[in-house]
Amino acid sequence: MAKVRMWVYSVIVVALVVLGTPAFGQGTASIITENVFNQMLKHRNDAGCAGNNFYNYNAFIAAANAFNGFGTTGDLAARKRDLAAFFAQTSHETTGGWATAPDGPYAWGYCFLTEKAGGDHCNSQQAPCAAGKQYYGRGPIQLSCKNYNYIAAGKAIGFDGLNDPDIVARDPTISFKTAIWFWMTAQSPKPSSHDVMTGRWTPSGSDNAAGRVAGYGMTTNIINGGLECGSGSNAKMEDRIGFFKRYCDLLGVSYGPNLDCYNQKPYGN
C-alpha cells in the first residue's frame, strides 16, 4: 500500500509540472525568495527611487500567483531563466543605475515607478481617452505608454484602465500584475516572452527568415524591437543583457542561447 501511495504521489507531481502548475514547494516563491528579491533589487527604496517599499515582495508573489504558469512552466532551469528574464527586462525599464553606481549598474532595477519623460500618450484613434487622464508608462513594464494597452490590461486583470490608469502607480499588486500580464500575453504576430523563455514557442517561417530565434534576445525584440533590434549592438540592448546575466548568476542558472537581437528583424519590418 505504501508503494502504491508513493507511485500515485509521483504521478501527481509529474502531472503538475507538465501542466505548468506548481507542484508542492515548486512555486515562484521557491525560486524568488524574499532574500533573492532583495538582492536583485537592492536599491529600489533608495532616495530618488520609487521608495516606500512600493515594489515589495508580498505584492510580487500575490501577482505571480494570479497567473497560471508564471515561474512554474518547464524544468527548474527553464523556470529560473524565465524569471530572470522577466526581472531583467522590467529592471531595464525602471533602472536608476549608471556605469559607476554602487554595486554596479545592474543592482538598480525598479528604481522608477513612472516614465521619466512623462507625457500623455493618448491614442484616440484606437481607443477612447478619459478626460484629464494620462496614459504614460507606469509600473515594472512601464505599461507601453498607450491608452489602449491600459484598457486591455485592465480588462484582463480587473481594473478600470481607461478611467483610472493611476492605479498602476498606486496599487503595487496591480502594478506587478500589469507586468506579468504583458510577459504572459502573446500579441500576434509576436509570441509571449514567457513562451519564448520556456521553450513553448516555435519560430514560424517568417520568423526564421527574419533571424528571430529563441533566447533572451527574442524577448527584447518583443518588447522594443523596433528601436533596439536588427542593427547590431546598442547601449539599451546591452543594458538588458547585463541585468539578465546578473539575475541568472544570482539564481545559479546558465544564460541559454541568443542573448542579443543584433541580427533579428523587428516585427513589422
**Which pTM does this prediction carry?**
0.89
pLDDT tens digits, one per residue of 69-107: 999 999 999 999 999 999 999 999 999 999 999 999 999
Which range, of 9-13, 41-45, 50-54, 123-127, averages the lowest pLDDT?
9-13
Q: In DSSP terms, which residues pair with 138 in a beta bridge? A: 114
Statement: residue 1 has pLDDT above 60? no
Tell me whether residue 228 is one of the annotated catalytic residues. no
pLDDT of the residue at 9: 37
Please tell me the distance from the alpha carbon of residue 229 to that of residue 264, in angstroms, as a whole number.
6
Q: Measured between alpha carbons, how far is residue 202 from residues 191, 197, 240, 255 in Å?
A: 9, 11, 23, 19
Statement: residue 256 has pLDDT above 60? yes
Question: In CATH, what number does 114-170 get?
Answer: 3.30.20.10
Contact 203, 193 (CB under 8 A): no
pLDDT tens digits, one per residue of 198-254: 999 999 999 999 999 999 999 999 999 999 999 999 999 999 999 999 999 999 999
pLDDT of the residue at 169: 96
Which range, of 77-91, 119-133, 254-268, averages the lowest pLDDT?
119-133
DSSP 8-state code for residue 187: B
Can 22-112+186-251 and 114-170 be said to share one CATH topology?
no
What is the number of H-type helices and E-type strands within the chain?
11, 0
CATH architecture of 22-112+186-251: Orthogonal Bundle (1.10)
Contact 212, 262 (CB under 8 A): no
DSSP 8-state code for residue 190: B
Percent of the chain with pLDDT over 70: 88
pLDDT of the residue at 119: 65
pLDDT of the residue at 32: 98
pLDDT of the residue at 137: 93
Sequence letter at residue 94: T
Going by pLDDT thresholds of 50, 70 and 90, the confidence category of residue 122 is confident
Percent of the chain with pLDDT over 90: 78
pLDDT of the residue at 118: 61
Q: Measured between alpha carbons, how far is residue 92 from residues 1, 97, 157, 251 in Å?
A: 53, 9, 23, 18
pLDDT of the residue at 21: 45
Sign of the C-alpha dihedral computed for residues 212, 153, 126 and 130 taken in this order: negative
Which value, to the nearest 10 degrees, does the dihedral of the CA atoms of residues 149, 171, 137, 161 take? 30
* Marked catalytic residue, from 93, 115, 228, 238: 93
pLDDT tens digits, one per residue of 43-67: 999 999 988 899 999 999 999 999 9
Break the chain into its structural domains and give their ranges.
Answer: 22-112+186-251, 114-170
pLDDT tens digits, one per residue of 101-116: 999 999 999 999 998 7
Write out the three cell numbers for 259. Answer: 542573448
Which range, of 4-18, 83-97, 249-263, averages the lowest pLDDT?
4-18
